[in-house]
């Protein structure tokens, strides 16, 4: 599970990110609203933990931008604002939960687990449209779109791209990709994946466009606009 933590209080974010890592979550951290908004737009997260008061963009604005992009990622607000009007404003902006500082770490972890369980029962894992950076994927029609350039995909290319886009920034090993794309008794020869990856690259990385698929030699591949 991937979590984006956005808070400008280093004395909170550093120990909290370590705690979440120990709990088995993969955590990215941003210290201002603009950086948090950019990460949330370019990558796929299972949960966003946002402070309300942030430099450049407030957590409220980050949440509103996320919802305006059609993303349903659960959002947990961390804030010192504890009036009823503040809570209503946060929920109206699209937040899913609200935790007032100071808080007990046990309660935060319980709320994180609850939000992740809730999102697992919604359409997020089975979403028919994915977006990472400038690339969008329409799974139902096997079509990708990159800044208005329509890209037709084969069934296997679409399946491969979906797997990459659901794990942006993560190293996916050859073995993981093979097991995801092919049944155990139908594994192809070792050069099939490399050939499929070359075909996909040609389609989604036109001349002048930022590369999206990076080879980690001897291990596998990493996907995303930032290597």
State the SS3 of the chain.
Answer: CEEEEECCCHHHHHHHHHHHHHCCCEEEEECCHHHHHHHHHHCCCCEEEEECCCCCCCHHHHHHHHHHCCCCCCEEEEECCCCHHHHHHHHHCCCCEEEECCCCHHHHHHHHHHHHHHHHCCCCCCCCEEEECCEEEECCCCEEEECCEEEECCHHHHHHHHHHHCCCCCEEEHHHHHHHHCCHHHCCCCHHHHHHHHHHHHHHCCCCCCCCEEEECCCEEEECCCC
Q: How much is the pLDDT for 156?
A: 92
| Spatial contact of 132 and 43, defined as CB atoms under 8 Å apart | yes
Q: Which residues contact 69 (CB under 8 A, 6 or more apart)?
A: 41, 131
Q: Which of 51, 37, 48, 99 is nearest to 75 (CA)?
A: 48
* Rounded Cα–Cα distance for residues 42 and 129 (Å): 14
Q: Is the pLDDT of residue 5 over 60?
A: yes
* pLDDT for the residue numbered 227: 47
CATH superfamily for domain 2-120: Response regulator (3.40.50.2300)
* Residue 211 banded pLDDT, cuts 50, 70, 90: very high
Is pLDDT larger for residue 119 or for residue 190?
A: 190
Instruction: Quick: pLDDT tens for 122-160.
Output: 444 445 778 888 889 988 889 999 988 999 999 999 999
pLDDT confidence of residue 23:
85
Band the pLDDT of 120: cuts 50, 70, 90: low
pLDDT at 192 over 50: yes
Domain ranges (residues) in the chain: 2-120, 129-223
pLDDT value for 82: 67
28-60 confidence digits (pLDDT tens):
999 998 998 888 887 778 899 998 888 888 888
pLDDT tops 60 at residue 121: no
- Residue 84 has a pLDDT of 67
Q: Which CATH class is domain 129-223?
A: mainly alpha
Residue with tokens 């999206």: 212
């Amino acid at each position: 599970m991937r979590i984006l933590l956005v808070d400008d209080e280093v004395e909170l974010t550093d120990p909290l990110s370590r705690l979440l890592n120990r709990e088995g979550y993969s955590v990215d951290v941003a210290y201002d609203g603009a950086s948090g908004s950019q990460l949330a737009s370019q990558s796929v997260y299972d949960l966003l933990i946002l402070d309300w008061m942030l430099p450049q963009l407030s957590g409220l604005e980050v949440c509103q931008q996320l919802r305006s992009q059609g993303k349903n990622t659960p959002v947990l607000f961390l804030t010192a604002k504890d009036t009823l009007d503040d809570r209503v404003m946060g929920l109206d902006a699209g937040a899913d939960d609200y935790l007032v500082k100071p808080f007990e770490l046990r309660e935060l972890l319980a709320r994180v687990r609850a939000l992740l369980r809730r999102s697992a029962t919604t359409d997020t894992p089975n979403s028919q449209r994915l977006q990472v950076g400038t690339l969008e994927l329409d799974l139902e029609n096997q079509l990708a779109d990159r800044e208005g350039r329509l890209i037709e995909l084969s069934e296997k290319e679409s399946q491969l791209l979906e797997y990459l886009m659901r794990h942006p920034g993560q190293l996916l090993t050859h073995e993981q990709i093979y097991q995801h794309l092919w049944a155990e008794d139908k594994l192809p020869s070792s050069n099939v994946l490399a050939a499929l990856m070359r075909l996909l690259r040609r389609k989604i990385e036109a001349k002048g466009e930022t590369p999206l698929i990076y080879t980690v030699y001897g291990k596998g591949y990493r996907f995303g606009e930032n290597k």
